[in-house]
Chain A
Amino acid sequence: MQLISTTTVGAGGSASITFSSIPGTYTDLVLMLSARNTGSGNSFVLLQANGVTSSYETVILRGETSATSTTGTSVGVNNAVWIGMTGGSNLTGTPFSSHQVYIPNYTSTTKKTFSTDYSKESNSSSTYENGLSTGVNNITSVITSLTLTLLLSGATFAQYSTASLYGILKGSGGATAS
């Protein structure tokens, strides 16, 4: 796994985080995000590929303290993949959420899928959660850009939020596949 690019949000925050000119020399991509939003509440983090703003579908399995909820969406409704939740000033201790998005076969001509693990930390026992999400879009071209934004109106990524993009290259050596 090799680092392609990393970025850290500066003072004042940022409405979006974008990776562009992604090289097509890897097999899979891994996007890692540590984030907090500047709003007063929780916000889903949104991911778009190649500037496409429609026909995403996401399913999330979330565990929130003592409850478990599932959020589903339908094809054509979502303008982005939901890759988990990040907190704002509603959370004590100013913690950052952690997200890992696995994007297999990003250079293929088939549909693109996005597999996410995430956790939203807090010093309060009533506001933490973790979960999984799966997303898909009918993008059949190579993914060359990824853009992160927030669902909460008016919120931006807070200073020190960091996103890193890695490439994984498949190959042979040390085992046999059949």
Chain B
Amino acid sequence: MPENVSALTPLATITLTGTQSTVTFSSISGSYRDLILVGSNILSSTNNDAMSVRLNTDSGSNYSYISGRGDGGNASYSNEQNVAQSQHSPVMIPSTTGPADFVIHFLDYAQTDKHKTFISRANTPDATFRGAGMTVNRWASTSAITTITLRFNSAATYAVGSTFSLYGVSA
């Protein structure tokens, strides 16, 4: 590939100017092969809440995941089957003071012949709530992904300055 031809096409971005309980990417074009969603400088209103994903506003028990995390002293793993939202950072907990970041890769997001798989990496380098984690998720739907909603599991909100960017990956 020529070095200056980008395979990542920016689709949308938002940096919060006020607190929000959810962040939504909608009207996602089906013209790409994969999607990559990057979250940076993520801060939350409260500590100890994990982040999750819903696709196409589906709140049914259609998400399954397995995840691993290391916090510098312990390695832990968790999984759930057929729950109401997928955890893209099940044990990655954005704190009120330390910036977290994540990258989620949605594979074949517009294909209608398969369930959707997405892989996420999330980090919280903050000294108190630190950890590096990874999750593999499945959404049991053959619908093309047109909306992605990021949220917290409980009542936390995303803080001002949290930035989210969506990219399309060309085949």
Contact = CB atoms under 8 A, between A and B. Distances in A.
A111 B43 CA distance: 12
Nearest to A169: B10
Q: Which 7 A-B pairs have the closest CB atoms?
A: A72-B72, A61-B70, A136-B125, A134-B123, A171-B10, A104-B40, A70-B70
Contacts of A3: 3-4
B134 interface: yes
Interface string A1-12: 111000000000
A72 B132 CA distance: 10
B41 A104 contact: yes
Contact of B7 (A1, A105, A172): A1
Nearest to B4: A2
A102 B8 CA distance: 14
Nearest to A67: B75
Contacts, number: 150
Given A132-B70, A174-B9, 19 more contacts: A27-B165, A57-B130, A61-B70, A61-B134, A70-B70, A70-B71, A102-B38, A104-B163, A105-B163, A110-B41, A117-B121, A134-B125, A168-B8, A174-B27, A174-B28, A174-B31, A175-B11, A177-B23, A178-B23
Interface stretch (B51-59, B80-88, B95-103, B136-144): B95-103
Contacts of A2: 3-4, 6
A177 B103 contact: no
Contacts of B121: 102, 115, 117, 132
Contact of B125 (A71, A102, A113, A117): A113
Given A28-B40, A75-B127, A170-B165, A110 B73 contact: no
B152 interface: no
Interface of A: 1-3, 27-28, 57-62, 68-75, 102, 104-105, 108, 110-111, 113, 115, 117, 132-136, 168-178
A165 B23 CA distance: 30
Nearest to B123: A134
Contacts of A135: 125
Nearest to A3: B3
Contacts of A133: 132
B72 A70 contact: yes
Contacts of B167: 168, 170
A174 B165 CA distance: 12
Contacts of B73: 70, 72
B168 interface: yes
Contact of B75 (A27, A68, A110, A134): A68
